[in-house]
Amino acid sequence: MVLLLQCGDQKGIVAKVSDFIFRNDGNIITANQHTTDPAKGHFSMRVEFEIDSANKDILEFKNEFSRIADSFGAKWQMHDKSRILNMGILVSKPDHCLVDLLYLVKSGELPVNIPFVISNYENHRSLAEQYHIPFYYVAANKSNRQEDKILALANNSDFLVLARYMLVLSKNFLSSYAKDIINIHHGFLPSFKGANPYRQALDRGVKVIGATAHFVNEDLDDGPIISQSVEYISHNDDLTSLIRKGKNLEKRALSSAISSYIDYRIIRLGNKTIVF
């Protein structure tokens, strides 16, 4: 089990949580905490622990813990880490992130199920079928996003990954889906939002390029950042070399973000994240 907890910082939180797990015959495996300001800041905590579900009803355990959490006004989640999540994938023409994710899942490096790949490009069908994953072609474009069709297919997923899906999801889609969506942006946010970030970076003469995996919200490329990868560049680089280097950064940042997500290591704090 994994406990994610956040509240205003105060004395005794760690002691109460640890004592509760101990009194219920649990065993703490790892525990991490972070305080933004010890005097009057925000407290975040991740605890991974074992508990004998054969001798303890998990629902009862959670109900009992809610009284502990309420005593210091905490928001909290408790997850069964043994449950394998269903990760739906949306992708447009670029396939490098899709290829990487399919390999990582097949190799066991990302322990998730992929119930579907949805694309507005038909050419990914053979790749998905090689991995025995259902592929759905949806003829979406900027003038007709086909979000009702996508939503109907996406409902059996626990979260979505936009593996270079190049259409912006509407506010209505986000509210209807109502689950987490992770996007990979081919730029080092918050710089170079929107289209053609590598061209923007080249024109600006930056010395570092990056890729950013973030949660999707209603504002373009503005959701809480989960993971970033960077690489130094020089005046010798052109647009082609930036794109080539950037593809590796995109794959690295996206897989890192997904790994943190399925391991329940992320706590959102406003428009930021704490990743334990």
d(CA 201, CA 227): 19
Nearest CA among 114, 180, 172 for reference residue 148: 172
Of 79, 106, 126, which marks where a domain is finished?
79
Spot the catalytic one: 221, 222, 237, 238.
Answer: 221
The total domain count for the chain is: 2
Considering the domain architecture, whether residues 217 and 188 belong to the same structural domain is answered as: yes
Considering the domain architecture, whether residues 98 and 36 belong to the same structural domain is answered as: no
Of 79, 112, 138, which marks where a domain is finished?
79
Identify the DSSP state of 161.
Answer: E
Residue position matching structure tokens 């406003």: 270
Considering the domain architecture, whether residues 17 and 137 belong to the same structural domain is answered as: no
CATH number for the domain harbouring residue 216: 3.40.50.170
- Our answer to whether residue 57 is catalytic in this structure is no
Range of the domain at 192: 87-275
Residue 188: its pLDDT value, please? 86
Considering the domain architecture, whether residues 73 and 148 belong to the same structural domain is answered as: no
CATH number for the domain harbouring residue 11: 3.30.70.260
For the chain, the 3-state helix, strand and coil shares in percent, each to the nearest 5, are 35, 30, 40
Considering the domain architecture, whether residues 91 and 74 belong to the same structural domain is answered as: no
Considering the domain architecture, whether residues 70 and 101 belong to the same structural domain is answered as: no
Of 79, 101, 135, which marks where a domain is finished?
79
Tell whether the torsion through CA atoms of 95, 96, 98 and 103 is positive or negative.
positive
d(CA 120, CA 138): 5
Considering the domain architecture, whether residues 131 and 255 belong to the same structural domain is answered as: yes
Considering the domain architecture, whether residues 74 and 94 belong to the same structural domain is answered as: no
H helical segments located in 118-181? 125-130, 147-154, 171-177
- Which residues 6+ apart lie within 8 Å of 12 measured at CB? 72
The DSSP element (H or E) to which 258 belongs, if any, is: helix 239-262
Residue 191: its pLDDT value, please? 81
Considering the domain architecture, whether residues 47 and 99 belong to the same structural domain is answered as: no
Residue 241: its pLDDT value, please? 92
Considering the domain architecture, whether residues 267 and 143 belong to the same structural domain is answered as: yes
Q: Per-residue confidence of the chain (276 residues) as pLDDT tens digits?
A: 999 999 999 999 999 999 999 999 999 999 999 998 766 789 999 999 999 877 788 999 999 999 999 999 999 999 999 999 999 999 999 999 999 999 999 999 999 999 999 999 999 999 999 999 999 999 999 889 999 999 999 999 999 999 999 999 999 999 999 999 999 998 888 887 878 888 888 888 999 999 999 999 998 888 999 999 999 999 999 999 999 999 999 999 999 999 999 999 999 998 999 999
Considering the domain architecture, whether residues 130 and 255 belong to the same structural domain is answered as: yes
d(CA 181, CA 23): 37
Considering the domain architecture, whether residues 238 and 106 belong to the same structural domain is answered as: yes
